Amino acid sequence: MKDVIVGIPIQWYIYLSVALFCIGVLGVLFRRNAIIIFMCVELMLNAVNLLMVAFSRYFGDTSGQVFVFFVMVVAAAEVAVGLAILMMIFRNTKSTDIDTLNRLKW
């Protein structure tokens, strides 16, 4: 597949990433389950990763793909800490519904 970038304009990848990112945003706003919200954050990070890989391929620069590694590192660390916090929340409130945690509400 040497000439894959000949047939596909980069705009298609931009629109695909925008769609995936907006689905992630919609999930964060739409769902009340904290686990689903975490998964939607992962989805947004992946949309950005896809766009970075596409740009690095179309512009012939390796740095974009290296940055995807760092995004993966941050995502893995975030999930480890976030799920530990989620376990603590569940232990204290017996649910993963974010509406039960409304003490910070004004």
Nearest to 75 by CA among 38, 50, 104: 38
- Closer to other proteins by Cβ: residue 5 or 101: 5
- Closer to other proteins by Cβ: residue 39 or 101: 39
Other CB atoms within a 10 A radius of the CB of residue 45 amount to 18
What torsion, rounded to 10 degrees, do the Cα atoms 26, 14, 57, 59 define?
-130
Residues 29-88 that bind other proteins (CB under 8 A): 29-33, 35-36, 38-40, 42-43, 46, 49-50, 53-54, 56-63, 65-66, 68-70, 72-81, 83-88
Residues 83-102 that bind other proteins (CB under 8 A): 83-88, 90, 95-97, 99
User: What percent helix, strand, coil does the chain show, rounded to 5?
Assistant: 80, 0, 20
CB of 104 to other proteins, least distance (A): 17
Q: Indicate whether 104 belongs to the interface with other proteins (CB under 8 A).
A: no
